[in-house]
Amino acid sequence: MKAPKNDPFEAHNKLLDVERAAKKLEKNPSWRTKSASTKHLQNLRARDAKLSNDKLYADTHFCVECKAARDESGDSTSLCDQHLRKAMGML
């Protein structure tokens, strides 16, 4: 007589396969909810940083000291001390 289809050994092996596959998925960052939400947070932070940078550069556009720094160095990206520190996140 042949082995029944629901061989307990085979069922157990299949269960192990599922566990192995689940572990593999856990290791895959794109499948992890935690890392997905971390990525989402990173995107939000990047957007925040970009917005505050945009605001900063709008400010420097009207800053007399930044204009003086630009004129003095001949570099259109030069910033005054205060705005340079802000740009580097020190303020």
Residues that bind Zn ion (CB under 5 A): 60, 63, 65-66, 80, 83
- In the bound state with Zn ion, the residue whose beta carbon lies nearer, of 48 and 65, is 65
The smaller minimum CB distance to Zn ion, of residues 32 and 80, is found at 80
Q: Are 70 and 78 in contact (CB under 8 A)?
A: yes
Alpha helices in the chain (DSSP H): 8-27, 33-61, 64-73, 81-87
Residue 18 one-letter amino acid? V
Least distance from Zn ion to the Cβ atom of residue 72, Å: 13
Q: Shortest Cβ contact with Zn ion: which residue?
A: 63
